[in-house]
Chain A
Amino acid sequence: MPDAMRNEQAGTGSPSVPGDAPARPVSQQGTPEGQPIHAGQAMAGQRVTVRLAAALRRLVDNRGALQVELAADRPGGVTVGEVLAALEPTYPGVHHAALDERGAVRRHVNVFVGAENIRLGAGLATPVPAGAEVWILPAVSGGR
């Protein structure tokens, strides 16, 4: 086997996310009803609901929403980039569908925080206020 062909595994690392010290994910698992499963010691955190386009639901047992709970260690709470990054360990398929290997939102994917398309705002640095939902949706394009 040519050793020169053996190279590092690609596509398995978490992309970096713009922003300050990332919020630490506490729990990314959810029940079919979307209730978070708290892992480890209870701590102050921000629970965020991530709603999925129908085309992505088959990647997560046909669930339409995922719950992510992150430690919000600083004023202003978490960013949408941190929410999406926190999906990667438990929902790698959803993470891969939304972000390319550079950590950028795919060209024909739109991410909303509430009613705000993050492309029109601060991108992945867009804050996610308490109670706001994050949507991952296909853009109005396609069909070539």
Chain B
Amino acid sequence: MAATADGSVLVMVGTTKGAFLFHDRGGRHAFESSGPLLAGCSVPSVAFDTRGGRCRILAGASSFFFGTSILHSDDLGRTWSERAAGGNIGFPPDTGAALVQVWQLQPATEAEPDVVYAGVEPAALFRSEDAGRTFSLVRGLWDHPHRPTWMPGNGGLGLHTILPDPNDPWRLLVAISSGGVYRTEDGGATWHPSNTGIRADFMPEEQRLPEYGQCVHKIARDAANPATLYLQNHGGLYRSDDDGKQWQDIANGVPSDYGFPIVAHPRRGRTAYIIPLDGAEGRWTSGGRCRVYRTSDGGASWAPLSNGLPQQNAYLTVLRDAFCADQREQPGLYFGTRSGELYGSFDDGESWRLLADHLPPILCVRAQALDA
């Protein structure tokens, strides 16, 4: 969707116990909340789909008891598709697999306005060709000989990142914890590991730069140069300038190279944001201080942004999909914590505001600018 100077913003927050909507009525001064929606379900994935004239919200909803479906709403979350028709995503019987949850929902490019991808646990890619009503397994990745050797992380074995190439629907990049980055250039028929330069600190010393098996946490695509990618690893911060073929370390001046999300500025190149966490044991904001770090030079340097964020005794965790930007000319940045706080910034991260607290643990945050 084109960036909008006017209009409002809708922020959807998926939690372990339902989802919440925050609707800005203009100016992003005050957000009106509604929810919980999809009560009784954890909602680890949300996407807005504004292609083809629609304004659809997609949500991966997992009932603790009754399974997982991908639901949609075409009226800004007031009503949702019902599960009476059964599951609309599931593994074919011959795979012997059963769906655990949907980690990622990603509409394809404008060239394929009815295609939506879903990344799931156990790690697999699904594709919808009817705008998210039904999904089918992408066999090329499922049948990859590496797949049986991928190892689950603490959160499970999930395919959590899907990056369509904005210029070529045959090219797609995905990331798996812990399988690493895989790329296809033939529309999903064949997939190749794409992890050159990415560390796997949890492997024996001589095997810490493997072909695959890394615990990649999140990847974001540069707004100005689509071949440039930024990657937050389970220990390691990287940039690629060739669509993921090679990765260079860019952990320059950050308190920790551990973290989950990484967000690219939606309009300005060489600009990205991270939230460093203390390493694999603490997994909370470094030093008990909640700071967002921003690079404006492709990772050559990073600047801390803390105004408005708690700087003492703040042991927060921000998960990989709980940080995002909206599409306004001056983009809003939003992140949610596992302790149920939602923060927003409307000046490129220079200052932050608490938009909501006392929510259930936040799993994902997505924001959509709405036309006036």
A contact residues vs B (CB 8 Å cutoff): 1-11, 13, 15-16, 55-56, 58-60, 88, 92-93, 95-98, 100-102, 104, 106, 108-109, 138-139, 141-144
Whether B67 and A2, one on each chain, are in contact in the complex, defined by CB atoms closer than 8 angstroms, is: no
Give the residues in chain A near B146, CB-CB below 8 Å. Answer: none
Known contacts A2-B169, A9-B134, A11-B89; is A102 also within 8 Å of B96 by CB?
yes
A111 to chain B, nearest CB (A): 12
Q: List 7 A-B contacts (CB under 8 A).
A: A2-B187, A5-B187, A8-B92, A92-B85, A98-B66, A100-B90, A102-B97
Q: Which of B97-111 contact A (CB under 8 A)?
A: 97-99
**In the complex, A129→B251 CA distance in Å?**
66
Of the four ranges (under 10, 10 to 19, 20 to 34, 35 or more), the interface on chain B belongs to 35 or more
User: Residues on B close to A: CB < 8 A?
Assistant: 16-17, 40, 42, 63-67, 69, 82-93, 96-99, 112, 115, 126-127, 129, 134-140, 169-170, 184, 186-189
Q: Inside 8 A of B90's CB, which chain A residues have their CB?
A: 10-11, 100-101
CB neighbours (8 Å) of B126 from chain A are: 10
Q: Which secondary structure dominates where chain B touches chain A?
A: loop
Contacts of A108 in B (CB 8 A): 64-65
Inter-chain CA distance A95–B84, complex, in Å, is: 9
Quick one: given A7-B137, A100-B67, A144-B64, are A93 and B187 in contact (CB under 8 Å)? no
- Give the shortest distance, in Å, between A110 (CB) and chain B (any CB): 9
Extra inter-chain contacts (12) besides given A11-B91, A60-B84, A93-B85, CB under 8 Å: A2-B187, A4-B140, A4-B187, A5-B187, A11-B90, A11-B135, A16-B93, A100-B67, A101-B91, A102-B97, A109-B65, A141-B64
Return chain A residues, CB-CB under 8 Å to B17: 143
Beta-carbon contact of B83 and A93 below 8 Å: yes
Q: Given A5-B187, A141-B64, A142-B65: A93 and B82 within 8 A (CB)?
A: yes
Please, how many angstroms separate the alpha-carbon atoms of A141 and B66 in the complex? 12
Asked if A106 and B67 make an inter-chain contact with CB atoms under 8 angstroms apart, the answer reads: yes
Which residue on chain A has the smallest CB distance to residue B134? A9
Q: Known contacts A96-B86, A144-B16; is A13 also within 8 Å of B186 by CB?
A: no
Asked if B170 and A138 sit within 8 Å, CB to CB, the answer is no
Q: Which of A1, A88, A102, A141 contacts B93 (CB 8 A)?
A: A102
Contact indicator A55/B40 (Cβ below 8 Å)? yes
A141 / chain B contacts, CB cutoff of 8 Å: 64-65
In the A-B complex, list the 6 residue pairs whose CB atoms are closest, starting with the nearest. A2-B187, A11-B90, A92-B86, A4-B189, A97-B66, A93-B84
